Amino acid sequence: MSAFHSFSWNSTITAETGVTTIFDFAVADSSTRPTPPVAFVEKLFLRHPSKFRACLQISELANFTFIPCLADGDLNGTISHDCGPGSLLIDYAMRYCTSNNYREDDNGTFATPGVVNQDIVKRFLSSHDYLWNPPPLSIAREMFGDHDGQRLIDECLFTNLPEAGTLATITRITAQNIVNQYRRLLSHYFPPNQKVDELFICGTSAQNLNIIDFIEAELPETVVTKPLDDIGIPGETSEAVCYAHLALETALSQATRDTASTSPLPIDANNARIRGTILRGQSWNDLSARILDFSEGKQLHVTNNIQFAGNLETAIDGLGLL
């Protein structure tokens, strides 16, 4: 399973290992907005009968997914949006301030003793609108990690900030931008009185307490923040879990489509489609046979609703598949 790598890269994996490789995912559903593949899976696992939920992923970039409850139907739909740097600016500052001895500050230890220069935070965010004008992912590292990162380092050096203060200031920029974009996305896409009941947080920087504590302090007290681990998905590997699910759905659909009717299926609220490129490995025929046995020769449709009580890991164990 692979998310973004090129065809040639994946074909090399399949050729040298014999393992089936699935990549290049896209989701088509009845929504008028394109659905990012990861957001589609987050909706499956997090949609609640009565609670309006959101999921914040803080990896190299920060991303919000807003998931209306089942009671609201698809009136507003699931919204997912990249909203600027996650760990990229912090990682650049860590490499600079430690002479490349450390590459990240995921738990916030290095920045904790520092004092934030709020003037730098305000000036930087006033000149960067990451929500409406995000750079392509292909140049995000150069924009956030190198160009913007060095500009911030230079400004901190000019004001004689010590290394801990520099890291604290750049961490605050990341956290403040996340809060700003949370408010803007919620007000732009949903009614004025819309409230988030639960915010799940995941990603490689979800353990950075300088970010998490600031977010929790700035959000309304009614918003309950939780790690994605609470439902059994490890927060640091949430993207991998999402892409593994997309790969599974693609394999199930492809194997049963080979023997089912080739007539196109309508795309409606109950029939989303996941498109993925499959490079068939040595065991593909055996895998297809097992899938067809499971499906009893019928076309398998994409899962559009998952409900379980408590922990996801416990629910999976209860299926008796392992």
CA angle 298, 303, 309 (to 5 degrees): 125
pLDDT, tens digit (0-9, with 9 covering 90-100), for 211-263: 999 999 999 999 999 999 888 888 777 778 888 888 888 888 877 776 555 45
CA angle 214, 130, 53 (to 5 degrees): 55
State the pLDDT at residue 73: 63
Low-confidence ranges of the chain (pLDDT < 70): 1-7, 29-35, 72-76, 132-145, 258-272, 304-322
State the pLDDT at residue 266: 46
State the pLDDT at residue 291: 84
State the pLDDT at residue 135: 63
pLDDT, tens digit (0-9, with 9 covering 90-100), for 286-309: 888 888 888 887 777 777 666 555
Distance, in Å, from the CA atom of 304 to the CA atom of 226, rounded to the nearest integer, reads 24
Residue 311: Cβ-neighbour burial (10 angstroms; 0-12, 13-18, 19+) = middle
The answer as to CATH 3.30.420.40 being correct for domain 55-233 is: yes
State the pLDDT at residue 25: 80
SS3 of the chain: helix, strand, coil, percent, to 5: 45, 15, 40
Q: Where are the domains of the chain?
A: 7-28+238-318, 55-233
State the pLDDT at residue 167: 97
State the pLDDT at residue 5: 52
